[in-house]
Amino acid sequence: MAQQKISLTRYLVEQQRADGLIPGQLRLLLEVVARACKSISMAVNKGDLGGVLGSADSENVQGEVQKKLDIIANEVLIEANEWGGHLAAMASEEMDSIYVVPNRYPQGEYLLLFDPLDGSSNIDVNVSIGTIFSVLKKPDDHPGVHEADFLQAGAKQVAAGYCIYGPQTTLVLTVGHGVAMFTLDREQGSFVLTKENIQIPADTKEFSVNMSNMRHWDEPVKRYIDECLAGTEGPRGKDFNMRWIASMVTDVHRILMRGGIFMYPWDKREPGKPGKLRLMYEANPMSWLVEQAGGAATNGKERILDLQPTKLHERVSVVLGSKNEVERVTRYHDPL
Which of the listed partners (ligand AHM, Mg ion, none) does 246 bind, with a CB threshold of 5 to 8 Å by partner kind? ligand AHM
* Shortest separation between residue 260's beta carbon and ligand AHM, angstroms: 13
Using the rule CB under 6 A, which residue among 31, 94, 118, 291 binds ligand AHM? 118
Site string for Mg ion, 118-137 (x = CB under 5 A): x-------------------
Using the rule CB under 6 A, which residue among 55, 210, 241, 308 binds ligand AHM? 210
Which of the listed partners (ligand AHM, Mg ion, none) does 247 bind, with a CB threshold of 5 to 8 Å by partner kind? ligand AHM
Using the rule CB under 6 A, which residue among 55, 58, 121, 308 binds ligand AHM? 121
Tell me: does residue 115 bind Mg ion (CB under 5 A).
yes
Tell me: does residue 291 bind Mg ion (CB under 5 A).
no
Tell me: does residue 82 bind Mg ion (CB under 5 A).
no
Which of the listed partners (Mg ion, ligand AHM, none) does 120 bind, with a CB threshold of 5 to 8 Å by partner kind? ligand AHM
Site string for ligand AHM, 150-189 (x = CB under 6 A): ----------------------------------------
Residue closer to ligand AHM, measured from CB, 60 or 81:
60
Which of the listed partners (Mg ion, ligand AHM, none) does 64 bind, with a CB threshold of 5 to 8 Å by partner kind? ligand AHM
The size of the chain, in residues, is 336
Tell me: does residue 115 bind ligand AHM (CB under 6 A).
yes
- Burial bucket for residue 109 (CB in 10 Å: 0-12, 13-18, 19+): middle
Please enumerate in sequence order all residues whose Cβ is within 8 A of that of 178, keeping only pairs 6 or more positions apart, or say none: 196, 197, 198, 292, 293
Tell me: does residue 120 bind ligand AHM (CB under 6 A).
yes
Q: Which residues bind Mg ion (CB under 5 A)?
A: 115, 118
Q: Which residues bind ligand AHM (CB under 6 A)?
A: 64, 93, 115, 118-121, 210, 246-248, 264
